Amino acid sequence: MKSDLPVLSATPTRVPDRAYEGLGYPLRTLIVFAAALALAVSWFMLPTGHGTVWALTAIIGLVALVLVVWRSVWLSRAREQSQHALAALGAATVDIPPKLRIRMPLMLVTGDGLPAIFNRNDEERFAHVGEGAIWLRVDQPQELRHLAVAVRQWRDGRAPDGVVLSVAPALHVDTDMLTQKLRVTRQALADAARTLGTRLPGYVAVYQRLTRGTADVSVPTWYGASSASGSVDTARFDAVIHAAETEVQRASTGNCSTMSAANAGTSIAATTSAARAAALAALIGWTQRVVIGTLTDRLQPATPWALFGAGWIDRGPASGPPNPWERDVQRQTCVTLAAVAASPLPWPLPQPLIEAMPRRYWISPRSAALAHALALLACAAAVTFWSSAKNNEALFGRISADLGRYSMIPAAHDAAKRDALQALVSDRDRLDRYARIGVPLHLSFGMYRGARLLPALNDAIGSYVPPPPPPAIVTLDSMSLFDSGRAQLKPGSTRAMVGALEMIKTHPDKRILVAGHTDDVGNPQSNLKLSTARAEAVRDWLTDASGIAATQFAIQGYGDTRPIASNETPEGRAKNRRVEITLVPDAGK
């Protein structure tokens, strides 16, 4: 059917199509995949403790389980709600190849006069394939959402390309009731768009007999305006009226001075065209105020229609009693329109309105899922590289701290030095193991720099010099400390014990044994007591001078029982008169 439609189109713009939630989109598989990636990164890469990892595992598992269960319930309900619509779609489009049903525009038609629009070959149909699109009938606006979801499933994830609202003013008796119906349709379209996640371009097709001419005009004319950008304004409607007025001028080009049979027909045609132009102007104004105003009013709670086109045609039901549009004309012009017979069936579909529909870029659900999986992999890779960098930074910092602590400990503090040395040996062994069997996963991905620390560790370990062993025994001459037969230290005798004091301070962790010895001159029992008393005197001085607790000292008097030389000579007896200081390991350490 060829039509005369003045169309003012804007440059086609992309309308985002996010219809990725159809049955063809493997959302549950993607949820499991994302959860597996998150768990792998948490367990093998994140620089956190085991407690945090277990908490993350519980949270990830719970969220994934909830999402999978929710998705399963949603799919079950969607199948139940769409079963009838999918069966009807399959039966009505059995001859359409699968690729064609995706490439052809698909329009949902709701509103007035659907039986007349879809009455093809004296048979009412649910779907009509032809006239540039696949047209689906939606008897109740509340069914828009379910049918739109079914269409998306049937078209492998592609949403409907638009919704046509047919308005037949002659089928209504009250403007308020029509307005309420339009608000219900507007809310239904908003719900459908929200469910699909994409806006649905809206079109208004008005079916109204404009003249009393014959009802079986072979080529009906659509007067309308459409745009690919979604803004059909008043200027476009003025252009439609101007196109209708142009018809009047073309029809009245005959010679009006001589009334022949030929120009009599031209005059009648001009009169009819003029009446149509006037009626069209009135109908467009009424449509703007009542229909389009209701659908796009931003003060209403529902989302305004994204109106991409509006069209009017001199077709429709019979107009008997005054309808809302005729009452509007009568109120504004005081002219009562005559009754007009109904148009023959079927009423033409508004195919010219959708010629400038917005360009929609579509991607199959599986391709979308693959793109999303790659995006998840990219995110996991980014977190993995970040975690590896943080883990290597922690390793470097820990080994650097061990090296710094070792270098700061003086050599005199051998116990602390050995503890720090043990930490360095452990670090060196760990890095050697990584070099032999491979770097662990949490340090890899090109971020490992531990090999650079091995030379510094080996140098530090090799620089350790153990302290010289303490002398086994420090022997003090009793004659330089005590007068003969006495146990009190002589004045100035402390200089002889300075060496022993330094040795004790160097090894504060050792126990000190102070033993006294005498020669065999005199009574053995007296010699034993004297040796013990001299050992106690030395012990008391060392305690006061070193600050070491007396419990670290042990006292022993041997008398003349352990000579180191012969008591037969004066030199031998002098060697036997002595005090010996010995460092012994503490049995408790």
Report the chain's mean pLDDT, rounded to a whole number. 80
Domain-located, residue 580: yes
User: How high is the pLDDT of residue 15?
Assistant: 34
216 and 254 belong to one structural domain: yes
- Kindly report the number of other CB atoms within 10 A of residue 6's CB atom: 19
221 and 279 belong to one structural domain: yes
Q: Predicted confidence band at 268 (pLDDT cuts at 50, 70, 90)?
A: very low
**Cβ-count burial 494-525 (b if 16+ within 10 Å, e if not):** eebbeebbebbeeeeebbbbbbbbbbeeeeee
Domain-located, residue 50: no
Of these ranges, 21-25, 143-147, 209-213, 495-499, the one predicted with the greatest mean pLDDT is 143-147
- Which of 189-193, 447-451, 490-494 is least confident? 490-494
Residues linked to residue 138 through DSSP beta bridges, in sequence order: 110
Question: Is pLDDT at 212 greater than 90 in this prediction?
Answer: no
Q: Which residue has the tokens 């209708």?
A: 244
Backbone angles phi, psi at 111, to 5 degrees: 115, -140
Q: Predicted confidence band at 207 (pLDDT cuts at 50, 70, 90)?
A: very high
Domain-located, residue 70: no
* pLDDT (average), residues 487-504: 81
Domain-located, residue 35: no
Helix runs in 409-467, H state only: 414-437, 454-462
292 and 403 belong to one structural domain: no
194 and 147 belong to one structural domain: yes
294 and 407 belong to one structural domain: no
pTM of the model: 0.60
Taking each continuous run of H as one helix and of E as one strand, the counts in the chain are 17, 15
Q: Which of helix, strand or coil describes residue 431?
A: helix
User: How high is the pLDDT of residue 133?
Assistant: 87
Backbone angles phi, psi at 148, to 5 degrees: -65, -40
Helix runs in 348-413, H state only: 365-408
Domain-located, residue 299: yes
Asked if 23 and 86 touch (Cβ cutoff 8 Å), the reply is: no
Long-range Cβ contact pairs of 335-338 (< 8 A, separation 24 or more): 337/279, 338/212
149 and 267 belong to one structural domain: yes
* pLDDT (average), residues 97-105: 78
Question: Is pLDDT at 278 greater than 80 in this prediction?
Answer: no
Question: Is pLDDT at 507 greater than 90 in this prediction?
Answer: no
Domain-located, residue 63: no
458 and 539 belong to one structural domain: no
Q: For residue 338, what are its two tokens?
A: 């005559």
Q: Is the dihedral of CA 202, 208, 214, 216 positive or negative?
A: positive
Question: Of 363, 398, 423, at which residue does a domain stop?
Answer: 363
* Distance between CA atoms of residues 329 and 326, nearest Å: 5
Between these two residues, 324 and 165, which has the higher pLDDT value? Answer: 165
User: How high is the pLDDT of residue 504?
Assistant: 80
User: How high is the pLDDT of residue 385?
Assistant: 92
What is the 8-class DSSP label of residue 26? -
Question: Is pLDDT at 155 greater than 70 in this prediction?
Answer: yes
Q: Which amino acid is at 282?
A: A
Q: Is 409 left (phi over 0), alpha (psi -120 to 50) or beta?
A: beta
Three-state SS string across 240-269, please? HHHHHHHHHHHHCCCCCCCCCHHHHHHHHH
Q: Which amino acid is at 268?
A: I
Residues linked to residue 310 through DSSP beta bridges, in sequence order: 204, 225
* pLDDT (average), residues 332-339: 60
Q: Is 10 left (phi over 0), alpha (psi -120 to 50) or beta?
A: beta
Find the Cα–Cα–Cα–Cα dihedral 526, 527, 528, 532, rounded to 10°.
100
Indicate the helix (H) or strand (E) that contains 500.
helix 498-506
Q: pLDDT by residue (tens digit) across 430-440?
A: 999 988 888 88
Question: Is pLDDT at 84 greater than 80 in this prediction?
Answer: no
Closest residue by Cα to residue 493 from 507, 482, 504: 482
483 and 458 belong to one structural domain: no
| 3-state percent helix, strand, coil for the chain, nearest multiple of 5 | 55, 15, 35
167 and 249 belong to one structural domain: yes
Query: 278: which residues sit within 8 A by CB, 6+ positions away?
Result: none
Q: For residue 589, what are its two tokens?
A: 């350490």
Query: 532: which residues sit within 8 A by CB, 6+ positions away?
Result: 516, 555, 556, 557
* Distance between CA atoms of residues 277 and 247, nearest Å: 8
Residues linked to residue 556 through DSSP beta bridges, in sequence order: 515
Range of the domain at 550: 473-584
* Distance between CA atoms of residues 55 and 46, nearest Å: 13
User: How high is the pLDDT of residue 548?
Assistant: 83
Q: Predicted confidence band at 214 (pLDDT cuts at 50, 70, 90)?
A: very low
Closest residue by Cα to residue 453 from 425, 431, 433: 431
User: How high is the pLDDT of residue 21?
Assistant: 41
232 and 305 belong to one structural domain: yes
* Distance between CA atoms of residues 36 and 51, nearest Å: 19
449 and 479 belong to one structural domain: no
Question: Is pLDDT at 163 greater than 90 in this prediction?
Answer: yes
The total of structural domains in the chain comes to 3
Question: Is pLDDT at 422 greater than 60 in this prediction?
Answer: yes
* Distance between CA atoms of residues 174 and 177, nearest Å: 5
Domain-located, residue 482: yes
Residues recorded for the chain: 589
* Distance between CA atoms of residues 150 and 77, nearest Å: 12
* pLDDT (average), residues 560-571: 89
Q: Predicted confidence band at 206 (pLDDT cuts at 50, 70, 90)?
A: very high
- Which of 8-12, 206-210, 380-384 is least confident? 8-12
Domain-located, residue 242: yes
Question: Of 438, 462, 486, at which residue does a domain stop?
Answer: 462
Asked if 534 and 480 touch (Cβ cutoff 8 Å), the reply is: no
* Distance between CA atoms of residues 451 and 447, nearest Å: 11
Question: Is pLDDT at 47 greater than 60 in this prediction?
Answer: yes
Backbone angles phi, psi at 187, to 5 degrees: -65, -40
395 and 439 belong to one structural domain: yes
